[in-house]
């Protein structure tokens, strides 16, 4: 069996300019744990998850510094801190989303998809066709429905 046979074809998405509040509302209303993010051309550019939204409320660790001769020497990379701060304060999905999206193609097998999801610890994977367009998404629920068809009402 292939990804194209179990993927959800009608995919709810947000765009980079969507507000964080709109995204949270869509996740809650639809009982989703994440949404693909598309740009104005319809290309997949990221994914935003419940974890990304919850991370906004988490405490951000300030990098350790050493003051020496009136200057500051960072003992940890300050860029990571600045990125986390930017994400925590973001109001746009484009600033909050994960930009490294793991995807599959429609001809990938369910076994390959399940293995990828377990190895990468992800809950959903966009399905991208040969032209680079998103044609669907597979969630853990889709795989469960395939594996245990008699348990679905």
40 phi, psi to nearest 5 deg: -65, -20
* pLDDT for position 114: 95
Closest CA to 1 of 116, 107, 149: 107
* Among candidate residues 113, 151, 153, 115, the one with its CA nearest the CA of residue 8: 113
What's the domain range around 93?
A: 3-151
pLDDT attached to residue 71: 73
What is the rounded CA–CA span in Å between residue 65 and residue 71? 10
Question: Which CATH number covers residue 94?
Answer: 3.10.580.10
**pLDDT averaged per 10 residues in sequence order, the chain, 153 residues:** 93 92 92 91 90 71 69 70 66 87 95 96 93 92 89 64
Residue for token pair 């046979």: 5
Residue 88 confidence (pLDDT) = 65
Give the total number of structural domains in the chain.
Answer: 1
């Amino acid at each position: 069996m292939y990804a194209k046979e179990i993927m959800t074809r009608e995919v709810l998405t947000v765009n980079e300019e969507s507000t964080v509040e709109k995204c949270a509302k869509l996740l809650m209303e639809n009982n989703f744990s994440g949404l693909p993010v598309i740009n104005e051309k319809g290309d997949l550019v990221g994914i935003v998850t419940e974890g990304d939204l919850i991370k906004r409320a988490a405490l951000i660790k300030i990098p350790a510094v050493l003051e020496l001769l009136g200057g500051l020497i960072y003992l940890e990379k300050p860029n990571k801190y600045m990125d986390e701060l930017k994400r925590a304060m973001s109001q746009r999905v484009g600033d909050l989303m994960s930009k490294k999206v793991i995807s599959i193609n429609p001809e990938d097998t369910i076994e390959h998809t399940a293995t990828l999801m377990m190895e990468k610890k992800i809950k959903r994977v966009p399905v991208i066709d040969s032209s680079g367009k998103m044609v669907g998404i597979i969630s853990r629920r889709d795989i469960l429905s395939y594996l245990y068809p008699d348990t679905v009402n």
